[in-house]
Amino acid sequence: MDGGQIFAELQDAETGLRLGHATMDIRYHAGGYDPQTVSPGQSLVMLMEFQGIDAILPAGHGIKLVLTETGEDYLAPACGNTCPVTVNGGTFSFPQISRDGSNILATPQNSEAANN
């Protein structure tokens, strides 16, 4: 079919705070620039990637991955209800980078910046 998407959201597992999000058209499940036809009922392995996220999680907090058909700030797929998507389990992994203060990028901020 021509459509269907997965919306992925990374959250702090303790607070639900959104750390990052992405959306992917399932026709591009294998990567690349050329869409592939997806048939109803077909099972797929989707290769999704988040851009680097610089987030601080308090000790003991985990990361939760939430997968849905659409998400906040995104339009539903053009095919609408004619292309429902079901998400079945999978593998989620990511590298953990320990920061010691010597390898961070401190951006210049003025006193009126939203994150001050």
Tell me the pLDDT tens digit for each residue of 59-94: 889 888 888 777 776 666 666 667 777 777 666 666
pLDDT of 15 reads 93
Better-scored residue on pLDDT, 24 or 52: 24
Containing domain of residue 104, as a range?
1-116
Cα separation, 92 vs 11, whole angstroms? 13
Cβ neighbors of 55 (< 8 A, separation 6 or more) are 19, 20
How is residue 76 written in tokens?
């539903």
Does the global pTM surpass 0.85?
no
Domain count, the chain: 1
